Chain A
Amino acid sequence: MVVTCEHVWSEISNYLEGDADPALRQALEEHLARCPRCQSIHDGMRNVIELYSDKAMFPLPDGFYPRLHGRLADQVEERRISRRAWLVSVGVTGALAASAVCAAALDRFVPRPLSEMSQPARRLPQRLVAIVDGGKMFHMLGCPFMHGTYHMVTAEEAVREGFAPCTRCMRDALRSAGKVTPDFDGEESAGGATEGK
């Protein structure tokens, strides 16, 4: 294969890239070896590539990185705010959880109503109700949900001490009178306090 100068010029860039098939490469090299003009083109182009490869060619402006990161931080700032908000919310949630734990712990010492049915009445009845030892609710005597030994207290005392009205035996009384003013006019059972298990 014989190549002309024009052919060399059109292929010299690919040749320097190593992107020329073996036959063309050999022909180019043979031409370059005997053609000072094309050798000059070859050397010049190689030097151009080498010169512009230098990292020092394009120095960054002074302060480029701080300004770039400052500009980007505007975007990050949104996240920081939301992250802050997130942290605050986590903190608040944590505080609430902690207080809930404390409250739960306090419950051991300060009994609280344990269900929505146990809303304390504004006008607490003076009727006697049964509190089962170790239990959490107060019952009408004869309630099938009563198990174990019991003692009688007024409903007011039972609520004050954190006992909740039994959702079964007290339900009707609460419904008829409203949650806050339960009426205990239901007929008391004369049955035993330890109705069958």
Chain B
Amino acid sequence: MTLAPRSDPGHEHEAALIGRIQSGERELFYELIRPYERRVFVIAFTILRNEADAEDVAQEAFLKAFKHLAQFRSESRFSTWLIQVAINEARQRQRKTHLEIMRPIADQENEDGTYTPRDFTDWREIPSEAVERKEIREKLIAALGSLAQKYREVFVLRDVEHMSIEDTAQALGISAGAVKTRLLRARLMLRDLLSPGLDGIWSTNSQIPKGTKPWS
């Protein structure tokens, strides 16, 4: 387990907050979770691929974190523990709703196998406001959603939420090596899915041609 550095002021601040919450100042829980409210939702959304479920799961995760705060071990990061709670909650919800019936074929792949990129189109330019365009954002979300869950989980923690490799590994209960392997695969697959040569997604023409693979 990666231990948060004792000298980390954020960690010390959180540890102090948790102590005060456990001593009865429970309103401070809001302050404790504020930096992670968005992160918990995004992770739940990435796993569940459904906004309403993700919001509900995020709420449940915060409630569970509140109820079980006494079980939190102060030598680890609160954020990592909270993310673990959220991931577990999302996975449970997923099992209940049988979302994995729609499991992508890539889920059954062996992650140790080599992945060969499909497209080699030059892709140096990104429109500066790309993500502000709703249709592009939707394509990005759809592309991520099409990956197998184990890749989505690693990718969202590392590349969307910028958690360290070690924290990502701890949150998911896997090795740092497995994080790197899955991250490579996720990034390669997303690159293929989003390559401009496939559907002209980066063209200034906002009209996205229908029938373009792989998400239409």
Contacts and interface: CB of A to CB of B under 8 A. Distances in A.
A54 B38 CA distance: 13
B190 interface: yes
* Dominant SS among interface residues on chain A: helix
A65 B122 contact: no
Interface residues of B, number: 50
Contacts of B29: 72, 76
A75 B63 contact: yes
B194 interface: yes
A47 B67 CA distance: 41
Contact of A72 (B62, B117, B144, B187): B62
A12 B180 CA distance: 11
Most buried by B among A43, A45, A51: A51
A52 B114 contact: no
Contact of A13 (B37, B38, B137, B187): B187
B55 to A, nearest CB: 6
Interface string A37-62: 10111011101111111101111110
Contacts of B27: 76, 79
Contact of A56 (B63, B67, B131, B165): B131
Contact of B126 (A51, A56, A68): A51
Interface residues of A, number: 40
Nearest to A35: B120
Given A56-B131, A72-B29, A45 B62 contact: no
Contact of B115 (A9, A17, A56, A71): A9
25 contacts: A9-B115, A9-B116, A10-B114, A12-B184, A12-B188, A39-B122, A40-B123, A41-B120, A44-B119, A44-B191, A44-B195, A48-B194, A50-B126, A51-B140, A52-B190, A56-B131, A57-B137, A58-B160, A60-B38, A64-B41, A67-B59, A68-B59, A71-B63, A75-B66, A76-B27
Interface of B: 26-27, 29-30, 37-38, 41-42, 45, 51-52, 55, 58-59, 62-63, 66-67, 114-117, 119-124, 126, 130-132, 137, 140-141, 144, 155, 159-160, 162, 165, 180, 183-184, 187-188, 190-191, 194-195
